[in-house]
Structure 1
Amino acid sequence: MESREPFTRVDQEKHPTLLEISTWMKQGSRLTAGFTSRIGGVSEKPFDSLNCGLHVLDRPEDVVCNRQRLASAISIPLDRCTYAEQVHGNDVVVVTSDNQGKGHAIREEAIQDTDGMITNESGIALCMMYADCVPLFFWDPSKRVIGVSHAGWKGSVLDIAGATVAKMNAVYGSEPQHIQAAIGPSIGGCCYEVDERIANQVTQHYESLQIQGISTNDILLPSEHIGKYMLNLKLFNQAMLLKAGIVSSHIEVSGLCTSCHTDLFFSHRKEHGQTGRMVAWMAMKES
């Protein structure tokens, strides 16, 4: 894990509280990337207050209002903010002017069955939702390509991280060694207890990869409860990014745990499923 927290909290008057990847945004003056908090929206309990998920039984008009607040804060029109219907898979979709803005106000219109999005077009915001799962960010400054992916334990085992890198390479010619990656706030190994069924799937998949430097024992630790394990999904995905060819020094890892900080984040695990969703966003603003 990186000792320096790459996600910087930004509190601005009349805007929601956001966590920006400040180092990336300094590199690219038109790049905007980060993760929403739960602060600064209009939703009522238990979705208070910046819930951006249309699928959690919150009032749709409140969710759209929250999404508009995010769009205004990052200076991207709401109808160019693109949302996906996430299914814990490893499909990655290319977003262009033809499908930009899908799902921004109506859930059924989101890009279906998708857990990763990439684009090289300016003025399009890639938006994916989380409430403990791992947000993955990708930035190729050489080819000017961006990507955002969603990695729960299933998507991690299916290697959504590697699938995103492969898609960036196949479509835009992005070389893995030029790609920068960031792992955002998510549930940490301190809080993510899983049963033997999940632990066995993680172990079988990971040991078959033979990744140097990070062992299964680093990713899965025994829990204080018999037959349970503590799963470090951030480290798992860090290993998958390395396997995909991304240079270790190009990977930023947040130390923030969504379950430990429900004052700042929604946590599906900590709040027993009755909670909202954060957004990981990324866009290249038009000049």
Structure 2
Amino acid sequence: MVEAVLIDLFSLTANLQSNLQGLLHNTLEAIEKCSSSHAPFVYVMCCQRQGSERKGEQESLLPALRGFQSLKRRLEVVCAQTTAAALYTVKQRLDEKDLSIIKVILPTLRKDLMKVYINHLFTAVYQFEFEDLQVAPDSESLQISEHQHEGQMLPSQDMAFIQHEIQMYLESLPSLKGELTILRSSLIPDDIFLHGFTTRTGGISYIPTLSSCNLFSSSKRRDPQIVVKENLRRLANAAGFNPEAFHRVKVDHANAVCIMGKTEPDDYDGIVTDQKGVTLAAPGADCIPVLFADPVRRACGAAHSGWKGTLLGVSMATVNAMVSEYGCNMKDILVVLGPSVGPCCYRLPHESAKEFHRIDPKCVRLFDSANPYIDIRRATRILLERGGILPENIQDDSITDQNQNITFCTACHPDKFYSHFRDGTNFGTQIGFISIKD
């Protein structure tokens, strides 16, 4: 069942308002007839020409909007100077109401163009269907841009223009939830390495569970890749790294490690490099983003360690890659555990808890219960120490000076961090990142 209808009038000019009003009136009438049992939300998207008042644009359409009682409270005119701005505003309205099934009614010649905008601004969570807007071809008052034809591949310059238009619009948006904040460890020397752990503030993601500096896009979530890219650009500007030389692990919840400069595996949860200016990153939204630094050999790494990866030894696999690839000495490697779900909140089924109990009984609380509490940080530390990392070279929540603590519980701090455990499937993601300074 269609939940929302988007009527795209953006390319139409109204020299004689009555024709445009008639077109809109007929379209709304058809929607009302077809949806008598369930009135969808309706958004009319039109161009706000430079120098014109938004209110004036809307008022010109008012006669066409009158009389539709079932749609009245569900109908909104969205005017903007660019298609990107108008469509992004419509997306915000859809997300406020958690709507996902949208019919787009638009001129035939706009269809391919609109599909490109939608591909950039939406994810697979949304379902779109398209219907032609019936525009009289001989009407002098309704003009449609004619530089493309439906069903043909858009010229590359048009594709580039659309992406640029969207990027420029997103860059113009204000940051949400305060300034961008980066947590840094005193263990990693800042004269050699650039590093940090992100929090959830200072980006443009507006959906509550993703707000605001979400740094991961998924087909199952509502934040598109282009929004995540803008959040990353803002992070890069604040932190001082190049977003074009940024490499995030391809999460598999296992223990494979990618060596920068060698063949990239299909999936991996650890990544290492000795190249300057290359930023490595590991995501976390309860799972631990772990950073590794060797100031002697000037090598670094990042790993994503959830409960499965922890049991599979992803942190030591990353350490071992640094040793074998770059000749690092185990005693020189520094390891920092970032914000992650703490033993105060994290529970697993008893069968999985047994594996952590075998590492050390202190990793499990209420072991005899159906869902014991698990300390994946303690398990990570124990496995690192057993592998040869010096205890004093590991920073986690066990440090004595809590002013130096950056291993906060993500589930306990909704104002600072994202949490899958707390927020459900449409959760945001923070990252840990590290690079070797030039």
After TM superposition, the score normalised by the length of structure 1 is 0.82
Higher relative contact order (CA 8 A, sep 6+): 1
Whether the 8 Å contact between 1:51 and 1:278 is mirrored in structure 2 is yes
* 2:388 match: 245
1:54 to 212, 217, 238: 217
Whether the 8 Å contact between 2:187 and 2:334 is mirrored in structure 1 is no
* 2:322 match: 168
2:169 is equivalent to residue 17 of structure 1: no
2:363 to 191, 206, 219: 219
Alpha-carbon offset, residue 165 of structure 1 = 1.1
* 2:202 match: 40
2:371 is equivalent to residue 190 of structure 1: no
Whether the 8 Å contact between 2:292 and 2:334 is mirrored in structure 1 is yes
Could you give the per-residue CA deviations for residues 143-196 of structure 1, whole angstroms, max 9, x where no partner exists?
001011111010011000111111111101111111111111100000001111
Alpha-carbon offset, residue 198 of structure 1 = 1.1
* 1:236 match: 379
- Which structure shows the bigger proportion of residues in strand conformation? 1
Distance 2:334 2:222 in 1: 36
Whether the 8 Å contact between 2:249 and 2:304 is mirrored in structure 1 is no
Alpha-carbon offset, residue 15 of structure 1 = 5.8
2:334 is equivalent to residue 180 of structure 1: yes
Pick the structure with greater CA Rg: 2
* 1:266 match: 418
* Structure 2 gap segments, 5+ residues each: 1-177, 398-406
Whether the 8 Å contact between 2:341 and 2:410 is mirrored in structure 1 is yes
Could you give the per-residue CA deviations for residues 92-118 of structure 1, whole angstroms, max 9, x where no partner exists?
11114x88xxxxxxxxxx963110011
Distance 1:168 1:241 in 2: 14
Could you give the per-residue CA deviations for residues 73-127 of structure 1, whole angstroms, max 9, x where no partner exists?
221111101122201010111114x88xxxxxxxxxx963110011111100001
Distance 1:263 1:181 in 2: 26
1:64 to 211, 222, 229: 229
* Structure 1 gap segments, 5+ residues each: 1-13, 100-109, 207-215
- Which structure shows the bigger proportion of residues in helix conformation? 2
Whether the 8 Å contact between 1:15 and 1:73 is mirrored in structure 2 is no
| Equivalent position amino acid for 1:237 in 2 | T
Distance 2:249 2:289 in 1: 14
Whether the 8 Å contact between 1:84 and 1:112 is mirrored in structure 2 is no
Alpha-carbon offset, residue 257 of structure 1 = 0.4
2:408 is equivalent to residue 256 of structure 1: yes
Runs of 4+ aligned residues of structure 1 deviating over 3 Å after TM superposition are none
| Equivalent position amino acid for 1:242 in 2 | E
Distance 1:189 1:114 in 2: 26
Deviates more, 1:134-143 or 1:53-62: 53-62
How many residues get paired? 249
- Over the residues paired in the alignment, what is the CA RMSD in angstroms? 1.9
2:253 is equivalent to residue 88 of structure 1: yes
Distance 1:232 1:33 in 2: 25
1:113 to 267, 271, 277: 267
